Amino acid sequence: MKRLDKAAETIARSILRCDRMRVISHNDADGITSAGLVCNALKRAGIPFHATLVNRLDETVVESIVSPVVFCDMGSGKPDLISRIKGDVFVLDHHKPVGTLDCMHLNPHNFGIDGAFELSASGTVYSVVRRMGDNSDLAGLAIAGALGDRQAMIGANHSILEEAISSGAVQTRPGLKMSADGPINQVFEQSIEPLLDFTGDPEKTREFLESLHIENDIQSLGRDDLNRLSTALTLKLLMQGSFAADSIIGEVIRLKKELVENSLEFVQLLNACGNRDLPGLGLTLCLRDRSALDQAKKMAAEYRNNILAEIKILREQHKEMKNIRYLVVKDMEAGAVVAGLGIRYLYADMPLITLNHKGDVVKVSARGNKLLISKGLDLSMALRKAAESVGGVGGGHTIASGASIPPGSEEKFLASVDRIVGEQLREPAREAKA
């Protein structure tokens, strides 16, 4: 962290010398909070900015860019595109670097920190903006971005959390990590985190809570109620085949400086904005403009209902190969979210891949888990190689990756992914035997 912090300070000084800034960032929660951090810091420093949030970095993004420009949550894997931009270029990313970037580049992987688990893009960006002025109150955005990328508060993330607590940007307490506050029956009925077998069913939700003699608002639960509910949830998740209980029971993070105090609700709002092609609305929330809140909440509710419908499709239509589980659909709204929920709460034994026909491209989302990673899984490499073999592009993290492939190439792509993943998961066994 000391070496990363030193590099971040150098980048912060260089950004502050610019008279304007173009900001390009990813359109998911981590990317939106990253843009929010940069834009807040630039605004406070009196530097005009123009921000654009995109689904992926390609030629259409870079062809019209005039530097100076900062890329957030993207760029480390596209040195060929970044090199086309003349002038001051800054890349603040946490994906595994590919090749060499000839610009100011901050990435935790270059400092021995795992960007997939220990430091998100927003955390990387925060290490820069905290040196651009008195911006410690923005630490909650860095925490929200990490949560959006399913990262735990370990390593570098834990250091940011401690700083956020010290500055008053965040408060923590033991409890249930639910993405809503309010009456407990409503929270559980509508919950997709955790995804329970009674989610969406008011009668089954009522029966579950009545059997535990629990009522009132979820944020007001006493210790006895919380312990009883935690035990019941752990057992229910284990019966579903999920090992995600530790991700919903423990330290609850409250954002004291942001428009939404519940950190997981804030993440859900940002993801809904990105998915509905309104990431600028999410950026407005990160800039603490309350006028965007009602629209974002309404959109998030619609998005949640669509996710539940698509989870039903996953349950009914998924297929299996030797080493992977997959779903092929058309015009799915939340393929990446469905893949993530599926492997956390429904199918933990193999990587889960969704292939979603949208227009003239098939968008692929793949998700693993820590157990599979420990056995050798690297979805970033698997999707990159498989996508390239069919004329597409892919990459990301070992545990979560994406790709875009041409329609008609799905069968060949899946066969390639299945083969590569099989080789990865067998590799540790061969090493152990040797």
428: pLDDT strictly greater than 70: no
Q: What's the CA gap between 188 and 179, in Å, rounded?
A: 10
User: 366-378 pLDDT, tens per residue?
Assistant: 999 989 999 999 9
Which CATH number does the domain 318-428 belong to among 3.40.50.720, 3.40.50.150, 3.10.310.40, 3.30.460.10? 3.10.310.40
The token pair that represents 382 in the structure block:
């698997």
Provide the token pair at 73.
């949550």
In 175-325, which ranges are continuous DSSP H helix? 184-189, 202-211, 223-239, 263-275, 279-286, 293-317
Q: What's the rounded mean pLDDT across residues 102-119?
A: 95
Q: Within the chain, which residue ranges are assigned CATH 3.90.1640.30?
A: 2-169+255-286
Query: For residue 145, which amino acid is it?
Result: G
Q: Which amino acid is located at 78 in the chain?
A: K
State how far the alpha carbon of 117 is from the alpha carbons of 32, 221, 352, 373, in Å: 18, 30, 19, 11
* Coil/strand/helix, residue 63: coil
pLDDT at 48: 98
Specify the domain boundaries for CATH 3.10.310.40 within the chain.
Answer: 318-428
The answer to whether the Cα torsion of 328, 331, 332, 335 is positive or negative is positive
**Domain spanning 2-169+255-286: CATH 3.90.1640.30:** yes
3-class DSSP assignment, residue 338 = helix
Say if residue 369 is exposed, middle or buried (CB neighbours under 10 Å; 0-12, 13-18, 19+): buried
pLDDT tens column, 209-226: 999 999 888 888 888 998
Percent over 70 (pLDDT), the chain: 98
User: In the prediction, which pLDDT does 132 show?
Assistant: 98
d(CA 66, CA 79): 17
Check whether 430 has a pLDDT greater than 70.
no
Position 331 pLDDT exceeds 60? yes
pTM of the model: 0.81
Q: How are beta strands 325-330 and 21-26 bridged, if at all?
A: unpaired
Question: What kind and span of H or E run contains 155?
Answer: helix 155-167
